[in-house]
Amino acid sequence: MSILINSDTRVLVQGITGEEGLYHSELMRNYGTKIVAGVTPRKGGDWVLDEKVPVFDTVQTAVKATGADVSVIFVPAKFAFDSIYEAIDSQIPLVVCITEGIPAMDMLKIKSILRTSSTIMIGPNSPGLITPGACKVGIIPGNITEPGNIGVVSRSGTLTYEVLYALKQNKLGVSTCVGIGGDAIIGSGFTDILVMFDQDPNTEKVVLIGEIGGKEEDLAADFIATEMTKPVVAYIAGRTAPKGKRMGHAGAIIEGRAGSAAQKIELFRKAGVKVAEYPEDIPALL
């Protein structure tokens, strides 16, 4: 069982003819993901991936022709707003945005549009998601995780990979791993994904990988304390980060004690969450 994606998922790649889009589309297809279409304006009629995947000028045309139900976006930041809006307007159920560096004002507009839409958005600045053995959408390596019953949700790309590999080394499998993205303004937050994992009958435990800055971890801790029915283990990156200095992601900045690793760890522990000191400690806590 999984959330959001499975072996039946039909994926459309926006920006498939670009270097990154084409490279990762091939990796996704080799993993077993059903790549059914690509979209690049003015490239409609082309074919890619051994001439087996058609390219369309618009998302709407691609969805109508192929029945795609997930879009993954690999376009440059200056085109990302239009690409995301086009996918939402085409009523695609799930949009996954890998692009980083999208202006905050663009994402504020997208958040407003999402409120009146049934589309779920993951990202931007996300590594994507993977349901091991069935489907991967984005750039998470397929060889670092195995199928199982542990849900993983993370703000950090690289730490996600480290934790997935640590779980695999300890013979612990994953139902679905979701990278929500590290920007200050994102489509789906920790709580949105925790709700899905809590309702998934075959996800038994959850790993949450957070970092300094923002309120996502605070909201997640509140949800876990009041509504979550399954055990959660967390890791918070950035314990030694200096105050007032951005560290990595756009959302990773702390002011005073608010947003600090210590504050987030305290909230999680009060919510009954076991917090790992190092990523490699997570399997033992599970």
Closest to 237 (Cα-Cα) out of 205, 202, 273, 277 = 277
Q: What tokens appear for 165 in the block? A: 């590999």
Residue 100 is assigned to a ligand binding site? yes
- 241-272 as b/e, with b when 16 or more CB fall inside 10 Å? beeeeeebbbbbbbeeeebbbebbbebbeebe
Distance CA 175, CA 171 (A): 13
141 three-state secondary structure = coil
Question: Catalytic one among 249, 259, 265, 279?
Answer: 249
278 annotated as ligand-binding:
no
d(CA 251, CA 154): 13
Q: Residue 43 annotated as binding?
A: yes
Q: Is 26 annotated as a binding residue?
A: no
Cα gap 188→179, rounded to integer Å: 10
Q: Among this protein's residues, is 24 annotated catalytic?
A: no
Structure token pair of residue 98: 């890998």
45 among annotated binding-site residues: no
Structure tokens at 137: 């959408």
Give the integer Cα–Cα distance in Å for 117 and 101.
24
Residues with catalytic roles: 249
Q: Which residues are annotated as a binding site for substrate?
A: 161
Which residues participate in the annotated binding site?
Answer: 17-20, 43, 98-100, 161
